[in-house]
Amino acid sequence: MSVESAPSGSPGIEVEWFDFGDRSRGRISPEEIPSHVAAGRFVWIDVDLCQTNPETLRRRIGGHCGEGGDLGDVAAEHAAASRRCQSQLLRNNDSIHMRIVNASIDAAKGGRESPPADVLDVVVGNSFLATIRTGDSTILTAVRRDYGRDFEQHATTPSFLIYEIWSRQVEAFLATESRLEDAVEDLRNLLNEAADDVGLTRMSEVSDALVMLRNHALPARRLLEELVSRRTNLISESTLDFLRQMIGRLDNLLADIGSNREILESAMHLSLTRVTFRTNQTMNRLAVVSTIFLPLTFICGVYGMNFDVMPEIRWQNGYLYFWLLVAVITGTMWLGLRRARLL
């Protein structure tokens, strides 16, 4: 196995060749693509539109990858794509064009993507794989950490790059879901203590983040399902088997997202039930106090009129009798409410 160093003078366009016979690979310039393809080697073309543009790509790549169509057109479509687009499989005559959307979701920002979703266009032909991005790609950054070792130890066909890309994409989804699962558990404990404005706001943020993750994972699953169902010689059977396993992992991920949303709703309902119960207890106590004071208020209202024809006002012990009556009424009401288990 050997690795040749990269030539200079290719800003925004990196090309690497792979020889699966002797496990060698190296960097080349775009102009060297035809000779390496003619030698039976596979090339990976990585394009960063922050450093180049579709016109430059057309000029430097030209028809070197003719079976995949014009990569300049794909780059132009990528540049025009919205950051809110979804993962999808785009059909080409002699190649496979996948648009993969990854997002780093921050639950503290109400499910908004932080930074915005990065879109990666992947075009696979018989002799090449092209990745087109704008700026750094989280997926490719993860792929570049391990693809060299995997190529040397395991790869037998060019499809290993497709596996590497999708494996890192699924791992990114799972890592995001794991963080959100921890946030759900913390929020559940918070709601068990009190359902205040902080808890309600946090619940809304985590719930939005779960929905956002689902909105990215579900289209990715559909893309994989369509990809493995197509008859093509561009992807090996062993890679298709791995992709089928990833569909199962995404199914589990979507199920976990649904479970976490149900946990949030259950915790919220339980917290609101607890608040309602405490409120009812408070209202019950207030009602009991009001019930006791209702007859006393009536008596005070009657004797507070101070009519001359009210003989009790002139009794020598009228004030004492009043308080005795108040005590009797209060005691009777208290005993009655206790027997009714309202106190």
Task: Please write the tens of the pLDDT for every residue from 251-285.
Answer: 999 999 999 999 988 888 888 888 888 888 888 88
- Cα torsion 118, 119, 125, 130: sign: negative
Give yes or no for residue 109 having a pLDDT over 80: no
Lowest mean pLDDT among 128-132, 298-302, 328-332: 298-302
Residue 25 zone, left/alpha/beta (φ > 0; ψ -120 to 50; rest): beta
CB atoms < 10 A from the CB of 36, how many? 21
| Beta strand ranges found along 5-126 (DSSP E) | 13-19, 24-28, 42-48, 88-91, 96-102, 118-124
| Beta strand ranges found along the chain (DSSP E) | 3-4, 13-19, 24-28, 42-48, 88-91, 96-102, 118-124, 128-133
Alpha carbon distance 52, 74 (integer Å):
14
Complete edge-to-edge strand list for the sheet that includes strand 13-19: 3-4, 24-28, 13-19, 42-48, 128-133, 118-124, 96-102, 88-91
**Which residues sit opposite 122 in a β-bridge?**
98, 131
Alpha carbon distance 154, 170 (integer Å):
20
**Where does the pLDDT of residue 310 fall: very low under 50, low under 70, confident under 90, or very high at 90 and above?**
confident
**What average pLDDT does range 29-33 have in this prediction?**
90
* pLDDT the model gives residue 282: 85
Higher pLDDT, 65 or 341: 341
**Where does the pLDDT of residue 8 fall: very low under 50, low under 70, confident under 90, or very high at 90 and above?**
very low
Q: Which of 100-114, 158-172, 329-343 has the highest mean pLDDT?
A: 158-172
Give the mean pLDDT of the chain: 84
Q: Provide the pairing of β-strand 3-4 with 24-28.
A: parallel
For residue range 206-234, what is the model confidence (pLDDT) as tens digits?
Answer: 989 999 999 999 999 999 999 998 878 88
DSSP string computed for 207-257:
HHHHHHHHHHHHHHHHHHHHHHHS--SSS-HHHHHHHHHHHHHHHHHHHHH
Contact predicate 38/28, CB 8 Å: no
| Exposure on the CB side of residue 206, measured as CA atoms within 13 A | 29
**What average pLDDT does range 62-82 have in this prediction?**
71
Alpha carbon distance 191, 312 (integer Å):
59
* pLDDT the model gives residue 117: 67
Cis peptide before 115 (omega within 30 of 0): yes
Give yes or no for residue 79 having a pLDDT over 90: no
* pLDDT the model gives residue 4: 56
Is the whole model's pTM more than 0.85, yes or no? no
**Where does the pLDDT of residue 343 fall: very low under 50, low under 70, confident under 90, or very high at 90 and above?**
low
Contact predicate 107/187, CB 8 Å: no
Higher pLDDT, 175 or 10: 175
CB atoms < 10 A from the CB of 201, how many? 11
What the block records as the tokens of 150 is 């995997």
Report the percent of the chain where pLDDT is more than 70: 87
**What average pLDDT does range 236-261 have in this prediction?**
94
Give yes or no for residue 204 having a pLDDT over 80: yes
**Where does the pLDDT of residue 304 fall: very low under 50, low under 70, confident under 90, or very high at 90 and above?**
confident
Higher pLDDT, 327 or 303: 327
What the block records as the tokens of 12 is 């925004």
